[in-house]
Structure 1
Amino acid sequence: MSLSSLEDALEHLAGVRPQTAARTCPLSQAAGARLAAPVIAKVSRPPAAVSAMDGYGVRLADLGKPGAILKVIGEVPAGRPFAGRVGPGEAVRIFTGGEIPDGADHVVIQEEVTREGDRVTCHEGYGEAQYVRPAGMDFAEGDMVIAAGTRIGAFELAMAAAANHDRLEVHCAPRVAILANGDELKPPGSALAPGEIVNSNPPGLAALVRAWGGEPMDLGVAGDTVSSIREHLARASDADILLPVGGASVGEHDHMRTALAEKGFEILFQGVRVKPGKPTWAGRDARRVVLGLPGNPASALVCAHLFLKPLLMGAHAHRRWPAGLAAPLPANGPRRAFLRAHAQLDPEQGLLVRADENQDSSRLSPFIAGNCLIDRAEDAPAAKAGDRVQILWLEGAAPQSGPG
């Protein structure tokens, strides 16, 4: 089977994204979930015209010239509307968030008046109304304030609460079953015999699954036999996505695809023209998706960003940013390369990025110092310092400012 391009592989995955059931949950439990229905405002915000400042609610018609003297007839704290009406030559003391009284259409801020008893003298003249927030300035009752499919974070929770929702309809988090494969793999903290290595992939992959809105399931480590893989896969009957790690290369001990084919999985693609990550593959059965990642740690984490993230979050997961090279890069080979790198903001040159010098697919250390991937096209020519490239941010990363 020929290698797929990244675009073709992502198109296959876009067609099989799991659609989980919807449920209703309180706001306190909705963070990280994806909306199953739009959020429609139950109220307007603000519900009535309110003051944007502490001051006095007045009629603009009374303030054509500086020096107007007005009689204070009442007070409007936030949450207690004024029962009367502001007439000619009158004012009402008002505080930020207080409802603008009938008859008033302007707020004179307290710094621009002098008060003596029940009289205020306005120091300025005004040609237009100020410091009044109209009803529905933020949103009106019936407006759609958050679209279906949106991932819920802090700002969405604040908006939903402001729209007077205490519960939201959300999709259940897709369950992602992580299955490591290899006789040599042992849990972290183990005493290692010769030939054994620590199974480092599942903890990092589980954290990424959570960050991208999924619910990880750790199936443990399957040995290098079809029977062992079968036994571990039996624990994933309620998973939406199977995420086998390792066991996908061309070798006599790589049995993962064989075991899944026996369970009725159809191959969508088998191998991708990317580096690292050539062995990445995917398949599906009637209900579940399988995304096979390479076993090398760097390959697994890079390919999780390239393939698992859009499978969980959709196409918008792959936004790229332009950056300038801080150091030259050699010509690229026939596979699209994703180089682990570190980007930072330079006060004069903008966003600059530098690739780690050793891109071996087993090395985890570049992720600790790095924060992004440089996207290098197939057969891209050598690039010099200052040339523009495209980068993808690693999960949780953000550009840092350089010295100066």
Structure 2
Amino acid sequence: MKIMIELEEAKELVLSRIQPVGTEWVAITDAYQRVLGQDVLSQIAMPPFARSPLDGYAYRAGESDSQPLQLKVVSEIPAGTFSDREILTGEAAKIFTGAPIPPGANCVVRMEDTELVSDQVTVIRPVLPNSNMVPKGEEIKEGDTLLRQGFYLTPPALGLLAAVGLDQVNVYRRPRVGLLSTGSELMDVGQSLLPAKIYNSNSYTLRGMLQEAGCEVLTIPIVSDQMEDTLKALARVSEADLIITTGGASVGDYDIMRHALAEFGCEMLFWKLDLKPGTPASVGQKGKQLCFSLSGNPAAAMVTFELLVRPVLRKIAGRSIHEEEQFLVKMASGFGKTGRQRRFLRAQAVFKNGEIWADLTPAQGSGILRSMIGSHLLVDVPANHGSVEPGELLMASWIANWES
């Protein structure tokens, strides 16, 4: 087991050991925020026929039509109907937006540029051949790849699938995650708080983050700091794709989680990340299952989740993997503490004069849950950096958007 490793090494270590979960077919009505399990090819062209983009008259234009042009209206084509009446020279079909272009016609003139008397239409401003026609397959050709495997399905993507007639789609199964909050000091909400106890918040924050990431979550709200209870709780979530625990991660007499994971049958990959907050994190693997032990301090657990767990969830969910992009921010406020370890500071993003400024939350303690509310950024302060000064440039990354 490695001890005290860099974040980048930890991510590489865990990402190299996992594969996406299996796939399933679902109705597109249930496919929102799911991840495509295979490429989607269109079986039809879009539009499936040449159509009119406006209300007007379809006719057979020549390069040197007279102005004005007199035509006989021989048919009417509303949207959703098809006319097989061929349009000859000197004839026109009254046509409406979205209707198929009739055979023989090679243009559409706007209704505003015409005058109709009985069955005779005068084209005041004749148009050239191929004007105001949307050709068959302008947007999509039959056999085109619409969306690639790993694509995260958004509302317009679902609309695109529906536009080509698909009612089902192959997607990755939602990852199943077991979530344990450990600590004999914990009490669940809705109870009167007893002396020396605190309410369990991690089950609720992390469950929300997991649900936001598209996971099915089995939560065991409170597990005592006893080995027997911990092993029983781990056994209850043994069928999950991933297990996340909070609490019992550090070096105290009651910090037993990494020992429990080993007893549970995990190969322990590492213990301790060389960063703050969240140093005592550890990860073990049992078969295909990864087990993450995170700090019991609420802010530390959430920061470590963003930095380490979220990239893993993306991969097992089948989403396209990319490096979490970091970018330069200008510090709107300072941070006086110094230390040997790399530190991630929570901050609000403020846009000024085309730049992103990072306004640090007032309290950065690992147990301060409120520091995550209103924060958009994790500012990356290198090891041995010294105090952070206002106006200084540092790298940062976005926190997932799970707030209003």
- The TM-score with structure 2 as length reference comes to 0.91
Q: What SS does the aligned partner of 1:61 have?
A: coil
1:364 is matched with 369
State the 1:222 CA deviation. 1.4
- 1:5-404 alignment to 2 at 5 Å? 5-61=6-62, 64=65, 66-127=67-128, 129-314=130-315, 315-316=321-322, 318-328=324-334, 333-346=339-352, 348-380=353-385, 382-385=388-391, 387=393, 389-397=395-403
Name which of structure 1's ranges 369-378 and 271-280 shifts more when overlaid on structure 2. 369-378
Amino acid at match of 1:326: A
State the 1:60 CA deviation. 3.6
Q: Which runs of 5+ in 1 are unaligned?
A: 399-404
Q: Is the contact between residue 377 and residue 396 of structure 2 (CA under 8 Å) also seen in structure 1?
A: no
Amino acid at match of 2:401: E
Q: What SS does the aligned partner of 1:91 have?
A: strand
Q: Which runs of 5+ in 2 are unaligned?
A: 316-320
State the 1:378 CA deviation. 3.2
Distance 2:339 2:65 in 1: 74
State the 1:337 CA deviation. 2.4
Deviations 1:160-195 (A, max 9, x none): 212221111222211100011110011012211121
State the 1:7 CA deviation. 1.2
Q: What SS does the aligned partner of 1:51 have?
A: coil
Give aligned-pair identity as a percent: 30
With over 3 angstroms needed to count, the CA separation of the structure-2 counterparts of 1:24 and 1:63, relative to structure 1, is farther
Distance 1:208 1:272 in 2: 21
With over 3 angstroms needed to count, the CA separation of the structure-2 counterparts of 1:139 and 1:234, relative to structure 1, is same
Name which of structure 1's ranges 273-282 and 232-241 shifts more when overlaid on structure 2. 273-282
- The TM-score with structure 1 as length reference comes to 0.91
How many residues of Structure 1 are paired with residues of Structure 2 in the alignment?
397
With over 3 angstroms needed to count, the CA separation of the structure-2 counterparts of 1:263 and 1:385, relative to structure 1, is same
Q: Is the contact between residue 52 and residue 101 of structure 2 (CA under 8 Å) also seen in structure 1?
A: yes
Amino acid at match of 1:343: A
Q: Is the contact between residue 176 and residue 215 of structure 1 (CA under 8 Å) also seen in structure 2?
A: yes
Amino acid at match of 1:136: G
Q: Is the contact between residue 62 and residue 68 of structure 1 (CA under 8 Å) also seen in structure 2?
A: no
Q: Is the contact between residue 327 and residue 386 of structure 1 (CA under 8 Å) also seen in structure 2?
A: no
State the 1:349 CA deviation. 3.4
1:402 is matched with none
Q: What SS does the aligned partner of 1:224 have?
A: coil
With over 3 angstroms needed to count, the CA separation of the structure-2 counterparts of 1:326 and 1:87, relative to structure 1, is farther
Distance 2:86 2:260 in 1: 79
With over 3 angstroms needed to count, the CA separation of the structure-2 counterparts of 1:93 and 1:246, relative to structure 1, is same
State the 1:55 CA deviation. 1.6
Amino acid at match of 2:180: L
Q: Is the contact between residue 258 and residue 282 of structure 2 (CA under 8 Å) also seen in structure 1?
A: no
Deviations 1:225-244 (A, max 9, x none): 11110111110121110101
Q: Is the contact between residue 63 and residue 129 of structure 2 (CA under 8 Å) also seen in structure 1?
A: no
Q: What SS does the aligned partner of 2:43 have?
A: coil
Amino acid at match of 2:344: F
With over 3 angstroms needed to count, the CA separation of the structure-2 counterparts of 1:128 and 1:391, relative to structure 1, is farther
Distance 1:165 1:297 in 2: 43
Distance 2:263 2:104 in 1: 78
State the 1:127 CA deviation. 4.7
Q: Is the contact between residue 18 and residue 174 of structure 1 (CA under 8 Å) also seen in structure 2?
A: no
Deviations 1:39-84 (A, max 9, x none): 2212211111111122222334267564222222212211111211
Q: Is the contact between residue 332 and residue 376 of structure 1 (CA under 8 Å) also seen in structure 2?
A: no
With over 3 angstroms needed to count, the CA separation of the structure-2 counterparts of 1:325 and 1:72, relative to structure 1, is farther
Q: Is the contact between residue 212 and residue 312 of structure 1 (CA under 8 Å) also seen in structure 2?
A: yes
Q: What SS does the aligned partner of 1:159 have?
A: helix
State the 1:110 CA deviation. 1.8
With over 3 angstroms needed to count, the CA separation of the structure-2 counterparts of 1:262 and 1:135, relative to structure 1, is same
Distance 1:36 1:47 in 2: 26
Distance 2:239 2:296 in 1: 24
Q: Is the contact between residue 375 and residue 392 of structure 1 (CA under 8 Å) also seen in structure 2?
A: no
Name which of structure 1's ranges 208-217 and 115-124 shifts more when overlaid on structure 2. 115-124
Q: Is the contact between residue 332 and residue 378 of structure 1 (CA under 8 Å) also seen in structure 2?
A: no
Name which of structure 1's ranges 10-19 and 137-146 shifts more when overlaid on structure 2. 10-19
Q: Is the contact between residue 242 and residue 290 of structure 1 (CA under 8 Å) also seen in structure 2?
A: yes
Distance 2:338 2:160 in 1: 46
Q: Is the contact between residue 334 and residue 360 of structure 2 (CA under 8 Å) also seen in structure 1?
A: no
State the 1:290 CA deviation. 0.8
